[in-house]
Amino acid sequence: MSVLLEVIATTVADARLAARAGADRLELVTAMGEGGLTPSVGLIEAVVDAVEIPVNVIVRPHSRGFVYDADDYAVMLRDIRAVKAARANGIVIGMLDAQRAIDREGLARVCEAADGLAITFHRAFDEARDLHEALDVLLSFDAVTNVLTSGGQPSVLQAEAMIGELVRQAVGSHCTVLAGAGLTMDALAGFVNRTRVEAVHFGSGVRVNGNGLAAVDGEKVARVRALLEAM
């Protein structure tokens, strides 16, 4: 079973290290301390130029939650157009309504603006009131190709059963469950075997000293790659 490896990059150096060490795809973010915000156009362009693997860019205008007003959407739609112009592979985005359901209207506008870019729905998903209901909504949007989730828990390792259920729910669809948050090298093989996930997402787990704000550690990325290859 081939498992895709996505690694968070916050700098061009991160991107180069992760790509060289075997990452299949990057999630490009800035402001990791705030959970990841939209990076600058200059950074997006530089990273796309620096690596040959797909670069997905987070589009998140602020860290005040995932319920957005009209002005927030206006900003996000501009950012999506900038990401597309910078030749990135896709966007990473998520939005909820006041009832903690997926904001269908907002997501529809995003899909239209993305105009063919791959769309990953990010961990706003984990704050939805019902994860199965939320995944059903995402499965109704052909443009959504991944959902990044920790199964509604702080760490994906605390949510193996839920991740397994979501993977089964998405089987045969256009949408891949991308498991992330709290994954460790020691737990990786067992987690993948038990949940049957086809894609994993690493941030602090492949950084220097396990620090989310530190640089990517190429050796750790290479070890994760080797673990996945050995499965």
Residue 1 predicted with pLDDT over 90: no
Confidence at residue 97, expressed as pLDDT on a 0 to 100 scale: 97
- The phi, psi pair for 10, rounded to 5°, reads -120, -10
Q: What is the mean pLDDT of residues 86-97?
A: 98
Confidence at residue 111, expressed as pLDDT on a 0 to 100 scale: 97
CATH of domain 4-229: 3.20.20.380
Give the pLDDT band of residue 210 (cuts 50, 70, 90).
very high
The Cα–Cα gap between 151 and 33 comes to: 21
**pLDDT 10s digits, 216-227:** 999 999 999 999
Task: Give 3-state DSSP helix, strand, coil % of the chain, rounded to 5.
Answer: 45, 20, 35
Confidence at residue 208, expressed as pLDDT on a 0 to 100 scale: 95
Nearest to 59 by CA among 120, 9, 6, 115: 120
Locate the domains of the chain by residue range: 4-229
